[in-house]
Amino acid sequence: MIKILYSPCHYKFSKSEGSESYWAYNIADKIASVNYRSIVVTGFTEDKNKKYRIIELQKNKTEIDLSLINALKFNFLYFFATIFFLKKENFDLVHHVLPFGIGSTFNLSVILGLTNNKPFIVGPIQGVLQYRDDDINNSNIRIAKPNKSINFTLILQKIFSFLTQKLSYKTLKKSDKIVVIDECSKAILIKNNVPREKIIIISPGIDCNKYKKNIRKKIRHKKIIMVSSYLLKRKAIDFVIKSYDEVRYLRNNTELIVVGDGPQKKNLEKLVKRLKLKNSVNFVGHVPNNEISKFYRKADIFVSMSRAESWGQMYLEAMASGLPIVSSRNVGSESIIKDGEFGYLVDQEDYKELAKKIIYLIDHPDVMERFGKKARKEVEEKYDWDRVVIPKYVKLYKQLINEK
């Protein structure tokens, strides 16, 4: 039995959250449930009934707080927690799971050499998103919008950014192993002089069993097109709607389901009204991660026109549900989707081409079915948490422990 200190394991330890929090939960929970002497250090959690110990550093929180002040506070809280448990108990390994932003997150315990010579892992790390989400509330993001009238604030921000960048790469270089999600993330680290031999690619996973029942048993007469996303400008849902307008004109027995909420919702609803699509576009709103499968069950085609993704968990969810995918080209989609095998990739903002691909799939149900089966097979072979991803982490842990 391996004894692991997962510190930190994200701001919120929850299977119902999306993306990074979901990855952190699955990695720690699936391994610690077997190696139950392990400890998970997190911000807060609702899932406390576990064999292993969960240490909550911010029990008063109810939502993930990504503000700069909280990021600093959380950093020092898990630093002291890490040191405390390393002094008190004997662990085989320390894993800084998440959060970790390249150039913005650091871990003082490994920088200061306070890990008791135990193997230290960071990750899974994803690349820097090449798009700024200005429509997110600025009080709840890492990079505050600078006030040009206050030069002193700008100076402090630049100094702070310089220091955190130095500490971030110091953390990576002093780690024994760094897990990244794809080749793009690996290339960023190598470009910044992080030793290649320290880096290993382990992509995030998906619970295939959760989506197994969602593969379509029969071809429905009405075709359901689905997009699942936080409603930001970056996600380009307006182009999905414009594309659907073209589809609806030529194939009227269709429906677009928009799963998700966000700051662009009102603008998107206005666009739907202007295009006279109100009766065929359904805004579902926010759906917790552990309930999303029922919407994939209803769908025939999954679409996305996101301008930037460093990964794309929604692609894996759609693939596990046996859905063909049509997406814009971005780092995430190109890392996951094989164009022409189980989906199609179109150029950024080319909503007319998106419409053409959707219509082609609608008109060719045999292709739709073939793509769906190939998509399902792809996630089973490459991304299943229990059969593929978690065994890679366990193998890495044992390798590092034996080397020490």
Query: CA–CA separation, 207 vs 313, rounded Å?
Result: 11
Query: CA–CA separation, 238 vs 245, rounded Å?
Result: 11
Q: What is the pTM of this model?
A: 0.89
What is the pLDDT, as a whole number, of residue 153? 56
What is the pLDDT, as a whole number, of residue 143? 38
What is the pLDDT, as a whole number, of residue 220? 61
DSSP 222-258: SEEEEEE----GGGTHHHHHHHHHHHHHH--SEEEEE
User: How many CA atoms lie less than 13 Å away from 111 in the CB half-sphere?
Assistant: 13
Query: CA–CA separation, 256 vs 389, rounded Å?
Result: 33
What is the pLDDT, as a whole number, of residue 276? 95
DSSP assignment, residue 144? P
The tens-digit pLDDT sequence of the chain (404 residues) is 999 999 999 999 998 777 899 999 999 999 999 999 999 999 999 888 899 999 999 999 988 888 888 988 999 999 999 999 999 999 999 999 999 999 989 999 999 999 999 999 999 999 887 777 777 654 333 333 444 445 655 666 677 788 889 999 999 999 999 999 999 999 999 999 999 999 999 999 999 998 865 445 455 678 999 999 999 999 999 999 999 999 999 998 999 999 999 999 999 999 999 999 999 999 999 998 878 899 998 899 999 999 999 899 999 999 999 999 999 999 999 999 999 999 999 999 999 999 999 999 999 999 999 999 999 999 999 999 999 999 999 999 999 999 86
Query: Looking up tokens 């590092």, which residue turns up?
Result: 400
Query: CA–CA separation, 174 vs 102, rounded Å?
Result: 14
Long-range contact pairs involving 19-22 (C-beta distance under 8 Å, separation at least 24): 19/311, 19/313, 20/98, 20/99, 20/126, 21/64, 21/98, 22/204, 22/289, 22/313
Q: Say what the alpha-carbon torsion angle 393, 395, 400, 401 is, to the nearest 10 degrees.
A: 110
DSSP assignment, residue 383? T
User: How many CA atoms lie less than 13 Å away from 243 in the CB half-sphere?
Assistant: 28
Identity of residue 187: A
Query: CA–CA separation, 32 vs 38, rounded Å?
Result: 6
What is the pLDDT, as a whole number, of residue 246? 95
Chain centroid, CA 392 distance in Å:
19
Domains and CATH numbers, the chain: 4-205+384-403 (3.40.50.2000), 209-382 (3.40.50.2000)
Report the candidate in 150, 151, 191 with the shortest Cα–Cα distance to residue 169: 191
Tokens of 127: 């690349």
Buried b (16+ CB within 10 A) or exposed e, 64-97: bbbebebbeebbebbbebbbebbeeeebbbbbbb
Q: Is the dihedral of CA 242, 243, 244, 250 positive or negative?
A: positive
What is the pLDDT, as a whole number, of residue 146? 43
Contact between residue 184 and residue 309 where contact means Cβ atoms under 8 Å apart: no
Identity of residue 126: Q
DSSP assignment, residue 127? P
* Biggest CA pair distance of the chain: 68
